Structure 1
Amino acid sequence: MPTNLLGDPAPTLLPDHLDAPARTALADGEDARAVAARFPAASAAWAALARTALDDGDPVAAYAFARTGYHRGLDALRKAGWRGQGPVPASHLPNQGFLRSVWALADAAAAIGEDDETARCHRLLDGSDPAWRNALTNAL
């Protein structure tokens, strides 16, 4: 078996300035729509909107909100040096908005029968951090 002499990619750790104000506003009980409007680059706000839409039985809206959070998170990851693979640890709080968006996207995709998207999201989550579900569930 060949050995990768370059090693695995280093974990990508997002800076906190993107999601921190949104996380604070959400924790203070502000409406997720207002938070997303004030902090549109914050994946955490879009993930919260997506989860609320899922809880309210609106998987189509959840899919749209989650996809927005996913894309905002991808933009941030790329700026942080991520090249489409490698660890994105769920234990790092600033990464959680992106990972929650992907998780909500997987759930929304499953709810509308988009099985390929569901599988892609789970592969991304598992490739980012095999312990993602435990880390994100315990952080709620």
Structure 2
Amino acid sequence: MSALEPGAELEPQDYLVTRADLVAYAGASGDHNPIHQDEAVARMVGLPGVIAHGMYTMALAARAVATWSDEAEVVELGCKFTAPVVVPAEGGATVRVAGTVKSVADGRATIALEVTCGGEKVLGAPKAVVRV
């Protein structure tokens, strides 16, 4: 885990999110809200289209943290859901997770995250703390 040193900019991780991923996540999480699978329903409630589950997007951030930290124990993970990840019917949407190690102290590394889709931040103030 030598990469987790204060000031280190971590290699951005890209994740393609498809409609099939949303169906699988709905089954695993029990969140079957139709805005995550049905274009007409999503648009009817004012969304630009089918959107990824916020918790799925957050899970992608956790996946990046696991990659960077060699799967260290996550002590804290948090964010605000600020913008939706719109997932088109064909292809998908790419979520990019970037990170910067803010501090390492008392056996813990604090990582400030930036989670974007199409250049737009989709999670506000995302942060992870891992045991090192």
Pick the structure with greater CA Rg. 2
Structure with a larger share of its residues in strand: 2
* Fold equivalence (TM over 0.5): no
Higher relative contact order (CA 8 A, sep 6+): 2
Structure with a larger share of its residues in helix: 1
Normalised by the length of structure 2, the TM-score is 0.30
Normalised by the length of structure 1, the TM-score is 0.28
